[in-house]
Copies of this chain bind each other. A is one copy, B any other.
């Protein structure tokens, strides 16, 4: 359970899955699409998602090599569930940011007592 929710907590996982929402992408395209991810983390993330059956990895035996990644139906259902949570986030983002500002204003350590 927590292991699966941890999947969501991993920012790279969500971002990668999000990019594959409605298209197939190859490794280098994903690398460009997901801003800031290192080659290493992209590989590791893709391996984990493939292992969980959330996406498929297709190797085309050509020169130069080409590897395509696409969401499975299971991956798509996860994306839907996460989208619901993301909707919660957007709905309440202003409220949360307001709460944070208020908290920081009233609880921040006094720099000038």
Binding site for B on A (CB under 8 A): 1-2, 4-6, 8-11, 14, 50-53, 74, 77-78, 81-82, 84-86, 88-90, 92-93, 95-96, 99-100, 103-104, 107
Contact = CB atoms under 8 A, between A and B. Distances in A.
Given A10-B9, A84-B84, A88-B78, A4 B96 contact: yes
7 contacts: A1-B93, A2-B14, A4-B92, A4-B96, A8-B8, A8-B9, A77-B88
A104 B95 CA distance: 44
A85 B81 contact: yes
B90 A51 contact: no
A88 B8 CA distance: 12
Nearest to A92: B74
Contact of A1 (B2, B90, B99, B103): B90
A11 B6 contact: yes
A93 to B, nearest CB: 6
A99 B53 contact: yes
A90 B3 CA distance: 11
A86 to B, nearest CB: 7
